[in-house]
Structure 1
Amino acid sequence: MTNNFYEFLKLNSRQGLQILTSVVLLGSYAHGQQGSQGNTTIFGGAQMSFFANHDFVAGGGGAQPGVILTERQAGNFGILNFVGDNLTSTGASDAAYVDGYVRKYGSGQFVFPVGDNGSLGPFAASGDGTMGAYFRADPNTAVTSNLFTGSDYAALPNGGPFPTSSMGTNVEVVSTVEYWDIDGAAATPLTLTWDASSAIASLTGGQISKLTIAGWDGTSWVAIPSRVDAASVLGGNSDLNAGSITTVSPLAPDTYTAYTFASLVVPLPVTLTRFTATAETGTVLLSWSTTEEKGSDRFEIERSNDGKVWAAIGSVASRGESKVLVDYQFTDVKPAAGTNLYRLRMVDTDGTYAFSSIREVKIKGVMAIAYPNPVAERLLIPAHGQVKQATLTSLSGMRVLSRSSVSADGLDVRGLAPGIYTLSLTLLDGTISTQKVAVSR
C-alpha cells in the first residue's frame, strides 16, 4: 500500500467512511471456521479495513461475529487492516479471532487479535505498517491447516520449517507449541503473549526469568533481549500460566523470519568447587566452597528423601562478590531416618537460580531424635511415626515420663523440673536411640 493511498484511507476514516479495499465474501459463501460460527472470509490478494475499534463478539463494520479467516499463502495474503491511531480490538477469544494476517496502520501500540487452529495467540507492536499472523504449529514442520482447501498449507512463512534443534548462543530450548510470522520495516517493540496452553512452565523449568523471545535468523533461533512484562498487555500480572514478554529495544520485524518463545541457559551465579554432606552425631554437616561469585545472593539448602519432592530446610547468605576461595557450612539438625538427599539452590540477586549436584546421606535409626534442645514446653520427635516406646529419665535414673506412642505434637515436658534428662526412643524395628535433653524455663 502506497503512502498516498494510506493518506487517502486516513482522510476517509476522519469522514466516517469505511472502505473495503477489495472483495470480501460473506454469508453462505464463507468457509467453515475453526472453533467459531463466524462467517467473514478474506480471500487471497484481498484486503478489508477497519477504521475504528472492532468487537469480535458483536461484529460490525462489514464483519460478522467470530473468526475472520484470511488467506495465509505466501505471496497471496488476505489481509485485515486496522487503520487509525490507537485502535483496539475487544472480545477476541479461542472462538473469535483473525485466522491469518492482520496489519496495522497508524501510531500507538496495537494488540493483534490473531489466532490459529482454535487458539488465540495475540502479539503487540506499535510500528506503522506492522503485519503478522499466529501459527499454532510446531516450528519443526511449520505446517498449519488450510481451511480454504480442507488440507494443510506447505511450510509457512517462506524459509520454513524452523528446526528447534538449531539454537544460537545461550538458548537452551525453543518452544514447539507455536510461532509468529511478523513483518514490517519500522522499528518497534515486539510483545508476544502466552496462556496455559503455551506450556511456559515446562519450557523454562518453572523459571519465568529464563523466558525470552527468539527469532529465526535463517539458520538458527537467536535470543532477542526481552523482559517479562510485570503487567501483561492482555491484563493481569504475568506468570507461568499467562502473560506477555517484550523486546528490550525496538527492532524491525523483518529482521527475523519467525518469532517464538525460548528458554535461556542461565549461568551459575557462583563457581562451586566442592559440596559434601557428612553424617555426624545426631546431625548432617553440609560443606561447600566457591572460587568465584558474581551477583550471588544466597544458598538455599533443600532436602528430599526420594529426589522428587524437595523442601527448603535453611538458607546461608552469600559473602558477596568474590574471586577467592570461600567456604560455607550448614548443619541439618533434623535428618530423617533412611535416605537424605541434599542440594543447593544458588540464587542470584535478580532472582535467577541454579541447582548444585545432589549429595546423599543414609541415616540408620534416628539421628537428631528430638528438638528443640533446650526445650521449655514440647519436645518434638521427627520420626514420631516410627516410635514404639519413648521414655525420659533423670540423671539419677528415675523414669519421669513414658509413652507407648508419640504424635506429631511431641512430648509435653511442662510438668518437669528444669534440668538434664535422658530421652530414649525404641523404634518399631527394635533400634534404640538416646539423647541428652535440657529442660529449661
Structure 2
Amino acid sequence: MKKIIILSGILFSAIMAKAQSVDLTKLLQDINGANVAFYTTNEQGGAINTYADVSWGDGFGVANRAFIQSLRNVVLPITLSKFNAKKDAEAVNLTWTTAMEKNALHFEIRRSTDGKKFEQIATVGAKGNSDSPVNYSFRDAKPASGTNYYQLKSVDRDGTFTTSIIVAVQFDLSKTEVTIMANSANQTIKVNVYSPVTKAASFAVVDVSGKVLLRVKNISLQKGNNALEYTLNAAPQLLIGLLSSANDKSAYKFYY
C-alpha cells in the first residue's frame, strides 16, 4: 500500500509538471471547437493527421485531459470582442460585437450612476449560434445626469452568464450643448442643439475676423434635442457658431 501511495504521488507530480507546459493556442482552439487535428501532436511527439489517436485537449496527452473537459463543460456562451458607449445628443448609443456565440440567449443591458450598483434597463436578444462577428446596438434615451456606467450581462440558454467590462459616459443634462456639421460643397450647415429647457434663442455664424456670415433670430428651442439646418454661402474656412439665449451665450468652432 505504501508503494502505491508513493507511485500515485509521483504520477500526480508528473501530471502537474506537464500541465504547466500548456500550449495556449492549442488550448484555445480546442475549447472553441476548432479542428485541432492539424495543430497538435500525439503523446509520442509525432504529428497527428486524423482524429483516430488525438489526445484531445492541448496536444500534450492525458496530463490536461480532465482540465480541458471541465472547460468544455463550462464554455462561455458569448465571446465579446467590442463594447462601446457614445453620447449622442440627449441619449447614449451602446454598440457591441461578438466574435462567437454558442447557444446564447440574450444580453441584459445594465446601468449605474456610481459604477458599483447596476440595474437592468433593457434586454436585447442574441443571434444564438455564430462563428463570425455579430454587431448589436441599443440607444439609452433616458440617461441620468452625471456619469452613466454601462455593463453587458451575456446570458446562455442554460442560465450561464458573463459580465463585460464597464464603460462610462459623462452626461450634463443641465447644460445646453451644440454640435455643428458643415458641408461647404453643398453650402449647408446642420446644427444639433440639446437644450435642458424650452427657450428662445438666436444663432449666428462669424469668421475669425468677426464678420457675420449668417444670423438667425427667434429660434424656439424645445426641451431635448433640436435639429436645425441652414444655407451658408461662404468659402471653406474656419468659422465660429454663436448660440445665444436670455441666460447664456456659447461659441463653437468648426471648419466649413
TM bucket (normalised to shorter chain) is: 0.3 to 0.5
Structure in which a larger fraction of residues adopt strand = 2
- The structure with the larger Rg is 1
Greater relative contact order structure (CA < 8 Å, 6+ sep):
2
TM-score normalised to structure 2 length:
0.42
TM-score, with structure 1 as normaliser: 0.25
